[in-house]
Amino acid sequence: MNHEDLYNKSIDVIIKNQHLSGAYIACPSFPSYNYSWFRDSSYIAYSMDLIENFKSSEQFHSWAVNNINKRETEIRRLMNGDMDNYEEVLHTRYQLNGHEGADSWENFQLDGFGVWLWSLYEHVQLSGRKITKEIEKAVELVSGYLSMLWQKPCYDCWEENRNEMHIYTLSCIYRGLKSSDSLLASNTFANTTSQIKKWILEEGVISGSLCKFKGNGAIDSSLLGVHFPNDVFGNKEAIMRKTVDRIHSELYKAGGLHRYAEDSYYGGGIWILLTAWLGIWFFDDGNPQAAEEILDWIGIKADKDGHLAEQYADSLNNSTFLPIWNKKWGESANPLLWSHAMYIILHKKLYPGI
Ligand code: BGC
């Protein structure tokens, strides 16, 4: 599909799948993804801010603020050091009405809340939205929560590896706390963010490149997030460069990017949102041509309805797992709103005037 059509279609898919409550559904046609994730939604809201659809991003952030403030008692309990039940606090995904899901899930994930603070900061910058008392309260709660828990192992952004400290997750917390300070014009987390950066440098680097999690030498495409949006290191810094070189040489196959080499979810295919993420890196690194090639490739992957799936079964890591997942949950999620959002973000980089 050509860029113009896919760009418009992507906006359409996002708007049509935003619930009246303000929540964005991760994927309408995939039952396990009939929820709103803070992670996915924060990127989706940012894409709406970029295209100046402030109504959409405003509704999402209001939904998020309400849902956080509603949980104030639990969050404060946790912030006061009562850690017994910390897994019960702040689920990673919610029903569209803001309630927690009934079925069990890998709920303890911290990255989405860090990314949400960043997305909210961008929203305020781009839309000029006033920071109300309610927003301020939600920002204080989430940043307090993250600053208390950043050293706790939790699931990664792929909802795996419960007992590890993940570099992408930490970069999101870093960026989230910086965003909180900017939003509230304070300096509360200056110390914590330096500690996080120091921790990443001391524990998250193997042979000059960032690694998936402490002590694990594998590379993971989510590390692109350390650059955008988290900006922990400038893109000229050797560490970021070496990380992206590894991502590119080990995980970029058949035109698209894998999550990580051992991934077996749906056989471990190539992901649209990650490939767009690499395109964003290329663009920021002064290589718009490579970014454009990625945009073209995504256009080829779109189906006749202009839908972008989560992943495609090209160059699978382990094809024996594809039929197993197809039998369990049906075809890979399509359309995935996060895929469309990352396409819009990349498109906006290349064609800011459209
Ligand atoms: C991914 C998560 C994502 C969720 C909803 C999962 O398969 O691992 O990163 O938030 O799908 O899109």
| DSSP string for residues in 124-160 | HHHH-----HHHHHHHHHHHHHHHHHTTS--B-TTS-
Q: In the prediction, which pLDDT does 79 show?
A: 80
On the 0-12 / 13-18 / 19+ scale of CB atoms within 10 A, 77 is middle
Q: In the prediction, which pLDDT does 354 show?
A: 83
Residue nearest to atom 6 of ligand 1 (CA): 158
Residue nearest to atom 12 of ligand 1 (CA): 26
Would you say 221 and 230 are in contact if contact means Cβ atoms under 8 Å apart? Answer: no
Distance 282 CA to ligand 1 centre (A): 24
Q: Best of 13, 32, 40, 41 to mutate for ligand 1, by most ligand atoms within 8 A of CB?
A: 40
Residue 84 has pLDDT above 80, yes or no: no
Mean pLDDT of the chain: 95
Residue nearest to atom 1 of ligand 1 (CA): 158
Q: How confident is the model over 199-240, as pLDDT tens digits?
A: 999 999 999 999 999 999 999 999 999 999 999 997 668 999
Average pLDDT over residues 131-158: 96
Buried-state track 170-183, b at ≥16 Cβ within 10 A, e below 16: bbbbbbbbbbbbeb
Distance 93 CA to ligand 1 centre (A): 10
Residue nearest to atom 10 of ligand 1 (CA): 40
* Cα–Cα nearest to 267, from 312, 310, 321: 321
Q: What element of type H or E holds 308? A: none
Q: In the prediction, which pLDDT does 56 show?
A: 98
Q: In the prediction, which pLDDT does 180 show?
A: 98
Instruction: Return d(Cα 129, Cα 227) in angstroms, integer.
Output: 26
pTM of the model: 0.97
Distance 336 CA to ligand 1 centre (A): 9
Q: In the prediction, which pLDDT does 104 show?
A: 86
Instruction: Return d(Cα 139, Cα 133) in angstroms, integer.
Output: 10
Distance 212 CA to ligand 1 centre (A): 17
Which numbered atom of ligand 1 lies nearest the CA of 337? 12
Q: How confident is the model over 1-56, as pLDDT tens digits?
A: 899 999 999 999 999 999 999 999 999 999 999 999 999 999 999 999 999 999 99
Q: In the prediction, which pLDDT does 4 show?
A: 93
The residue to which tokens 């992943």 are assigned? 311
More confident residue, 85 or 73: 73
Would you say the CB of residue 39 lies under 6 angstroms from ligand 1? yes
Would you say the CB of residue 158 lies under 6 angstroms from ligand 1? yes
Residue 103 has pLDDT above 70, yes or no: yes
Q: In the prediction, which pLDDT does 85 show?
A: 59
Would you say the CB of residue 35 lies under 6 angstroms from ligand 1? no
Number of domains in the chain: 1
Confidence of residue 88 (pLDDT cuts 50, 70, 90): low
Would you say 346 and 291 are in contact if contact means Cβ atoms under 8 Å apart? Answer: yes
On the 0-12 / 13-18 / 19+ scale of CB atoms within 10 A, 160 is middle
Structural domain boundaries enclosing 103: 3-350
Q: In the prediction, which pLDDT does 102 show?
A: 83
Q: How confident is the model over 311-340, as pLDDT tens digits?
A: 999 999 999 999 999 999 999 999 999 999
Question: 133-149 and 167-183 helices cross at what angle (nearest 10)?
Answer: 150
Read off the CATH number of the domain in which 161 is found: 1.50.10.10
Q: How confident is the model over 240-275, as pLDDT tens digits?
A: 999 999 999 999 999 999 999 999 999 999 999 999
Would you say 184 and 136 are in contact if contact means Cβ atoms under 8 Å apart? Answer: yes
Q: What element of type H or E holds 102? A: none
Q: Best of 25, 158, 334 to mutate for ligand 1, by most ligand atoms within 8 A of CB?
A: 158
